[in-house]
Chain A
């Protein structure tokens, strides 16, 4: 049996979703003052850039952006193999006292966000940290919840949810793949 594959969001729907997420971020922050978007490598960085573009168009403000690569903060480095490729962390602004929004594509176990929070803390003490994700697929293993969600997807443990973005994958699409039932 082949795994079943369904499109959760097509390109148009993803665009609308990102625009709404941008609005919610600005709304929750009560404007763009002190707002900083930090994307998690790699797709979270692209998503953060899209959201920043929407905010720039609507608010006329360029929100500062950064990128976090959480590889060195993973809690499973002793068990995964081979060694994951380390990406670039780039936090070009002081985050002290800022209102930071961590942006990622898919929220699942919460372990990536845990790592991101630890890494962020090594750069300073933001006044507030929020979490924005395109897809929340459930299945948390840590007490971590998103503040802004593009779409909730009920996905079984063995299922895959992939957010594809133009910049990296050549197309905009969110796809759910479920394992075949044995």
Chain B
């Protein structure tokens, strides 16, 4: 499956079928992140149910230093 994650197109193993899997794949499950799928925010509680499809655009953001 091909996803566009944070602006980069990448191939993802087909075992990854939902947002929670995706975060685990990149070892981000313990991180404080917010996920947006095709311009829609996916609440943490919905990560496991939110299916991913070929061509999806995923944004994974977090807090960094700022004023």
A and B associate in one complex: no
Question: Hey, which bits of chain A sit against chain B, CB under 8 A?
Answer: none
